[in-house]
Structure 1
Amino acid sequence: MTRPTLGAVAIGRNEGERLKACLRSLVPLCERVVYVDSGSRDDSVAFARSLGVDVVELDTSVPFTAARARNAGAEALLAGGDLDLVQFVDGDCRVEPGWLEAGTAAMQADPELGLVTGWRSEIHPTATVYNQMCEVDWHRPAGPIVACGGDMMVRAAAFRRIGGFDPTVIAAEDDEFCLRLGKAGWKLVRLPVQMTWHDADMTRFGQWWQRTIRNGHGFAQVGRMHPPHFRREKLRVWAYGLVLPLVFLLGLFTSLWLSLAALGLYALSFWKTLKGLRGQPMAARQAALLTLAKIPNLLGMLTYFRRRHRGVAMHIIEYK
């Protein structure tokens, strides 16, 4: 059988050395590579061009989204000639040697596969508790999946058939894309293979807080577009981000037992989370942040509802 042709789309903004590592891991192994830049102020564009990579610079007058960037990259990539497969990768990730071959082989072996992904890991997982939380979050079981993150290999025919990514989705746009891909009849699989190395580079609480607000926005927006996706996540946000704080405050004015009961439920959630993280670095700090996360998640959900009610554009929520 003829080996499928493969191109790659990398997206980024001010990624510096991370982008350089990303592009260097793609260029030798792909027929063509496109880099989509969202208003970088560093030398990202010049470096990409020095490697012979095609560059798309997004119009800064239109709100940036990862979905918009990936669509622009895919359009430019496929305009250069037919390709069978497209590897999407974020500019803060480098691709593991061997992944592109493994993904291509899997797609070649099963024509019903619309998407394959693999395992993403942090380059510096224990540098901060926030990096370690990403490391834990990235590791999911191999096998058939419903959704995955932005690092993915997609069949070009499947991408075209569903119209690519939805550029109005500012968070969890990869989930939204995958859900439409599955509904169109394509199979999605996570291979038990290392795919990419990610550099979260989160060093401050404020970065984590903003990222968690963005996640909440994704829960609300994509959950509304594809019910019941994110149903469990949204219920937990309502319970721990809104109901329990209100119960705690009510107890301060009526009965302290109510406040103590609310604190007890938070303590129980913390203990269960800590138990699930047993053996992980900084487990207690991770559990505390995950317990707290429902509050910024709620802020993100409310931000979506407010934007939708007012009919305003869904601007990206940046965290670094």
Structure 2
Amino acid sequence: MHKEPPAMTHLSSKTQAPDNALPHIDCVLIGINSEKTVGRCIESIQAADYPRDRLHIYYVDGGSSDASILIAKQYEGVITIALRPVHPTPGLGRNAGWQTGSSPLIQFLDSDTILDRNWFSSAIKAIRPEKIGAVQGILSELYPERSFYNWIGNLEWNGLKGECESFGGNVIVKRDALEMTGGYDEEMVGGEDPELSRRIIRAGWKVIQTGVPMAQHDLAMTRFKQYLRRTFRTGYAFAAVRERERSAGSRFWQYEYRKIIIKGGGFSFSLLLAIPLMAVGAPAPSITALALVALGTALLLNPRIFKVGQFMREQQLERKDARIYAWHCSLVVLPQLAGVLRYHIGRIFNQPLRNRPARIASEISVQTP
């Protein structure tokens, strides 16, 4: 059963500091065909415990065919930015938003999120120190009980409290850090958030996880096809970001990347070797083939076999749920491996993965109420 995140005890913004001492914040929402969620996201920002005149909301639309822009325009003070790129990416939308504004802080949000009312109170405190470039909080899934996929997302959204190696798509960032690094990579179709965070860290800034509620996310994933598409793109993002980090001399995502190659690749390679051996039909090759498949399967199912107890402790799961999560951790490397291979094949033939082209030519139009 889903539980709302606990309310954070706090003093109101006006008792913490005078209004004129609180920084202005540009809230940049991005979305495509988000008519079901964008209004809810805007309303959550407007309901935040923060002086309304210091919040500036930008909805950046990546090429919707529904009523997303019309809905955003209905809210007073919201600036809509309509992008019509040939190949839409999250980086294009986020850059268009923060570059349009001028506030010293930028809160990035996906349009399918609901901002926690008290988030800005803790975020402002955490990001004040000079060397803190970005701050994130707890992102929880809105309806984890509605599907296995939502439940998995809810388990994996967040890292440990304290200084961290990267941030996700929902984060508050200093404008100085964005200007110093140039902002988001506008060509990446996945992994653009951790990729930027790594450049921000290399520029001398720190990224902090506060451990307090930041937003709720509506993944709305109910079909296996959606899960496969998302995990494929996750693998592609691991490869794309890992390539950049390797060139920069960083080990970021090295473990995750190697895990996909060793487990997913090892299992797949064992099958490829076993099939022709089985076709021979002789006892010795058949035994060898079975041994290869057994070895590859053991490699693939390592989390399911050996890590159930670990998942129980780390994720605070009952044994049944820990087993289910272990199956996910075992099998997810296969679609991720497909994404990794797609990235490297694309590099060889200069054919990177791109989002579906928009029907009209690239343009940016900024419309204010």
Q: Does the pair score TM above 0.5? A: yes
Q: Tell me if 1:48 matches 2:72.
A: yes
Q: How many residues align?
A: 312
| Alignment match, 1:232 | 255
Q: Normalization by structure 2: what TM-score?
A: 0.80
Deviation by residue 1:84-129 (Cα, 9 ceiling, x = unmatched): 1010011110100110121112222x12211000010001112111
Q: Please report how far the alpha carbon of residue 217 of structure 1 lies from its aligned counterpart in structure 2 after TM superposition.
A: 0.7
Q: Relative to structure 2, which stretch is displaced further, 23-32 or 162-171?
A: 23-32
| Alignment match, 2:344 | 305
| 2:31 equivalent among 6, 12, 21 | 12
Deviation by residue 1:37-64 (Cα, 9 ceiling, x = unmatched): 112222211111111311111123x211
Is 2:25–2:105's contact at 8 Å kept on the other side of the alignment? yes
Specify the SS of the correspondent of 1:166.
coil
Is 1:171–1:316's contact at 8 Å kept on the other side of the alignment? no
- Cα distance change on mapping 1:18 and 1:312 into 2, 3 Å: same
Specify the SS of the correspondent of 2:127.
helix
Is 2:44–2:114's contact at 8 Å kept on the other side of the alignment? yes
| Alignment match, 2:204 | 185
Q: Tell me if 1:64 matches 2:88.
A: yes
| Alignment match, 1:93 | 113
Q: Please report how far the alpha carbon of residue 317 of structure 1 lies from its aligned counterpart in structure 2 after TM superposition.
A: 8.2
Q: Relative to structure 2, which stretch is displaced further, 220-229 or 303-312?
A: 303-312
Specify the SS of the correspondent of 1:17.
coil
Query: What 5-or-longer segments of structure 1 have no aligned partner?
Result: none
Is 1:169–1:222's contact at 8 Å kept on the other side of the alignment? no
| Alignment match, 1:84 | 104
Of all paired residues, the percent bearing the same amino acid is 28
| Alignment match, 2:154 | 135
RMSD: 1.9
- Cα distance change on mapping 1:276 and 1:139 into 2, 3 Å: farther
Specify the SS of the correspondent of 1:295.
helix
| Alignment match, 2:365 | none
- Cα distance change on mapping 1:86 and 1:235 into 2, 3 Å: same
What amino acid sits opposite 2:259 in the alignment?
R
Specify the SS of the correspondent of 1:144.
strand
Is 1:248–1:260's contact at 8 Å kept on the other side of the alignment? no
| Alignment match, 1:242 | 265
- Cα distance change on mapping 1:273 and 1:36 into 2, 3 Å: farther
Highest Rg: 1 or 2?
2
- Cα distance change on mapping 1:287 and 1:168 into 2, 3 Å: same
Query: What 5-or-longer segments of structure 2 have no aligned partner?
Result: 1-16, 278-284, 358-369
1:274 and 1:124 mapped to 2: Cα distance? 24
**Matches of residues 31-46 of structure 1 in structure 2 within 5 Å?**
31-46=55-70
Specify the SS of the correspondent of 1:34.
strand
Q: Relative to structure 2, which stretch is displaced further, 99-108 or 118-127?
A: 99-108
